[in-house]
Amino acid sequence: MSLEMLGYLGGFLVTISLAPQVIKSYKTKSTKDISIVYTIILLIGLGLWVMYAILNGIIPLSIFASIEFLFTLSLLILKMIYK
């Protein structure tokens, strides 16, 4: 595997990692063990990364960070609905 592939595969896994968490929270309608501080800090950090990537024209990071931002936003919304 090339070094570049290693970076992309890592980025892909990190990006999709929150999907099973969002699905679980949606199905169980229970989010009390999830830290709202975690979701808020992550959301702000990813938002800054999306801006950074877009302003620098770094396409892969723009895509990865945007998808992860949307998963995090979904989790935060679920956290606020199912307290």
Task: Give the residues lining the site for a copy of itself (CB under 8 A).
Answer: 3, 6-7, 9-21, 23-25, 28, 30-35, 37-38, 41-42, 44-49, 51-52, 55-56
| C-alpha distances in Å from residue 19, one per residue of 16, 42, 56, 58, 73 | 5, 15, 27, 23, 11
> Nearer Cβ to a copy of itself, position 44 or 59?
44
> Nearer Cβ to a copy of itself, position 9 or 70?
9
Q: How far is the CB of 77 from a copy of itself (least distance, A)?
A: 15
Q: How far is the CB of 2 from a copy of itself (least distance, A)?
A: 10
Whether residue 66 contacts residue 49, with contact meaning beta carbons closer than 8 Å, is answered with no
Distance CA 35, CA 60 (A): 29
